[in-house]
A and B are shown apart, each in its own frame.
Chain A
Amino acid sequence: MGEFQVHRVRFFGLVPAGVRCIAYQPRGTRLALARTDGTVEVYNFAANYFQEKVIPGHEARSVESLCWAAGARLFGAGLGGDITEYDLAGLSVGRGVDGGGGPVWSMVANGTGTQLAIGCEDGSVKIFQVVAEGIQFERNLDRRKGRVLCLSWHPSDTHIVAGSIDFFRVIDVASGQTVQRIMVNHHVEKAKRECVVWAIALLSSGTAVSADSFGRVQFWDWQQGTLAESCAVSTSAVLSLAVSEKEDSIVVGTSTGATLQLQLLPVRLGGLEKQWVRTKVFQFHSHDVRAVAHSPTALISGGLDAQLVIRPLMEKMQKKNYDAVLRKFIFPHRRLVSCARKARLLLFQFSQYLELWRLGSTEETGKDGEVLPLCRMPEHLLQLKSKGPEHIYCSSVSPCGTWLGYSTASRFQLYRVHCDGDGVSLSKVPKVPKLLPPAYQLQFSAGSDSLFVASARGSVHVFQLLEPGGCKHLHTLRPPSGCSEAVYLLAPSADGRWLAAVSGDWAIHIYNLKCFKHHCVVPRYDCAVSALAIHPTTNNLVIAYSDQQLSEFSIPEKQYTGWSRAVQSRGLHRLWLERDSPITHITFNPKNASHILLHDTFLLCVLDKSLPLPDDGAILMNQSTLKQLPETARKRQLHAFKICKKFQPLLFMDLLDKNCLVVVERPIMDFKTQLPQPVQQKKFGT
């Protein structure tokens, strides 16, 4: 691996926003997630749970509920009172339709996905029709006093149940009248506070399931108006509830961070009478679980501690393989840090501002594992707030450290950075060419003379950067067969001849920058690309897929390299494929052409193409054992993957010069103390 001086950076103060609501696509493999800051993300379960789309939030936007309708259309509604459709191809928010009832607390789609019902602050339930251009108001159902906090359709779309404060009511959809009103707070002694029904569901057997703020999950026979069963699940509020498609399993999330599963099981083995029983209790979250979903094979929960947890159910798993493992996602699956290698600057992207830091330096040298004292501390050079209430899509800093750019949903800004002595000044570049915002990815060329802007419909704009501070639009590169999705990853080559671009349909196009023509397409692989980079000397494109596969494509020869074919035929090591997080950055060592450096959230790896690949029997993480072996024995056990798990959780890793690495970590406990207050847990003896 060699000796590296590692700049261990922990001053990136990222605090991820909590998960507010999730929606599992009914007959699909995608999960939509909305956070408390208005960000909407889409995870593709088939592509190894990769976060394939991110729509950044807005200062004034709050999303209270999401739902999938008419197949693959995503709708969201929040306290602003608007119902908006999210354009997943263009990664933007469409026009909103005003609900007309004040803040919208919940929104559900019917079984066929043709109608949406919203529950508003003023107590009304409104039905909207999903049409091709958007949604259209259909009618108002019966309105009662009391805000409607949760809604649920009957599976046959005949009735809607609306949960409110202290009661819930069942509405007949055809007539629009309330057919039943059930009070929820009768059975609590000393009920000085109101009982809020946080979540409700209607089963096809005529049972209504309610989750309230006293920590109970109750099963009601709504036609008779009687309580069939009551489970006291927690001492604090039960905030969310989801029913499986087969209606034999319910998952609930509580305020303490516990997720529970209730199952409909026969009372006697083989008997007909069934009862709802609390079966599993999980404590995956430290903060409130405000969103749960039930997929056919897994329980999904999202909490205010910014975690998305997917717990596959063992009884649904046929084989005991890596599919049955618990998955937790906290950090985004894309890069939030850019590095200016020559100037030793780091640019951190937050949701509404950017921070530019200069790394510290040291004069000392030391042995393996030693911590060297700094002679110059890292400096916070500047903080650049984005204009407007929208959150930032992407940002980048040029390798020389003098150009800085970022993009929001409606703006694209480019700045020149002047560092003289100890002062830093920023000057805006005037007359930036107008392009259709937003820019989904920004990448400067290696010589800092051009800027590549990833845009919608698969197109990439090439801007030429002029001294002392100007920008000119040179060309727009488009894929030959057209594309409806936006480009989300870019990789320029070091010599300025080639550019690789990945769009949302997972097709990788390579363009020739000397004549601005499309060069070739990398053979299609049915998984999302999580990172790619072009080697500086050999012009090989190294691609990391979200299912942890690696491949290397030679751009001049337009085919996979021999090493890549060897990897595909041998197969990668089992432990390498069973990693939880995708590779988010690939970089190279200028001094050693056979080295590839990659990292994911929990490890960094130096891949040496000149060494043999490990077979499944070999130990993958063998760096510690290799250190203790003598030279001859070491040579026999060396293999290509040199992995270091010392720095976790990693947000970024890059090679500054021949023996200097920078790693950006974000320890979880550093931001957990900045999250909202959790519920107290009394433990014996404390």
Chain B
Amino acid sequence: MVRRRKAKAAAAGQRRAPAALPSPASSSEDEAPEEVAFGVAREAAAAERKLVGEAARRHRELLKEKRRRHQELFAEQKKRRLLPEAVLQELQELQDVSTGPAEQAAADDPGEELEAGAVQLEQGQAKVQKKKGKRSKGARTKGNYVAVCLKDHSVTGLHQQLAKDFLNAQLYGPHTNRVQANEFFSLANKRASVKKAAVQFVDKSWGQDKKEKAARFKKRWLASQIKNGL
């Protein structure tokens, strides 16, 4: 019954559709609508319905997939927030059993891992409670570390750097008319009654690698000469 209605509706829609199909520009009011066979129309409707159904189904699948992936990601993140299994196990054991000397020794290791873990991860409510619980029960008798508060170097270093930059900019900035030392000290040589060359006429840094290579070769050659001589 519903199927017939659906088919009727589809057919009607289809009948109506071809009626709406011709474009208003090219249609002429006096032409009769096209004749379409019922079977063809039914198949066309079914195909279209199937297509739409497929598309909807695919869309639904996609959404499901996305949702599933998100769930996994959240589960993963949630798992990462918690401590490794081993540690949790040991903590559980610790909480169950009263503080004995055997546990103390074991407490140090998971204790340290706990510290490390706590520093790296964000604190969850459960962990805080566990930590608190651990702390109140398992106080260490021998601390093998000392916590000190270091002087905060970051802010003073930044201020000092800013101050030095300001000083540098004011004294050696672009408007200060500074000149190279060579040029400055060679003025005297230029203006003397007996003109001399510039102060750094020969730059000692020219050909550094060549000089080094020559020195190394000389050393090797001398060594070989001595060896041959002997």
CB within 8 Å of B: which residues of A? 62, 79-81, 102-103, 105, 121, 147, 193, 196, 213, 235-237, 255, 286, 288, 669, 672-681, 683, 685-686
Contacts and interface: CB of A to CB of B under 8 A. Distances in A.
A80 B163 CA distance: 10
A193 B174 CA distance: 11
What are the 5 tightest A-B residue pairs by CB atom distance, in nearest-first order? A680-B179, A677-B178, A103-B163, A673-B181, A102-B159
Nearest to B182: A673
Contacts, number: 74
12 contacts: A62-B164, A80-B156, A81-B156, A81-B160, A102-B156, A121-B159, A121-B163, A236-B176, A672-B181, A677-B172, A678-B178, A679-B179
Interface of B: 156, 159-160, 162-164, 166, 170-172, 175-185, 187, 190-191, 199-200
Contacts of B162: 121
A677 B187 contact: no
Given A103-B160, A213-B170, A683 B176 contact: no
Given A105-B163, A286-B184, A679-B178, 10 more contacts: A80-B160, A102-B159, A103-B163, A121-B162, A672-B181, A673-B199, A677-B181, A678-B181, A679-B176, A679-B179
State the main secondary structure of chain B at its contact with A: helix
B159 A681 contact: no
A103 B159 contact: yes
A283 B3 CA distance: 111
Contact of A669 (B160, B170, B179, B185): B185
A288 B166 CA distance: 17
B160 to A, nearest CB: 5
Nearest to B158: A102
Contacts of B177: 235-236, 679-680
Nearest to B168: A676
Contacts of B164: 62, 79
B103 to A, nearest CB: 42
B191 A683 contact: yes
A677 B160 contact: no
Contact of B171 (A102, A105, A255, A674): A255
A81 B184 CA distance: 36
B184 A680 contact: yes
A255 B176 CA distance: 9
Contact of A681 (B156, B160, B184): B184
A147 B181 CA distance: 31
A685 B185 CA distance: 15
A288 B191 contact: no
Interface centre among B166, B175, B177, B191 (most CB of A within 10 A): B177
Nearest to A674: B181
Nearest to B164: A79
Given A196-B170, A288-B171, A685-B191, A81 B181 contact: no
Nearest to A198: B170
A11 B176 CA distance: 34
Nearest to A686: B190
Contacts of B183: 680
A680 B178 contact: yes
Contacts of B185: 286, 669, 672-673
A678 B191 contact: no
Contacts of B159: 81, 102-103, 121
A677 B179 contact: yes
Contacts of A62: 160, 164
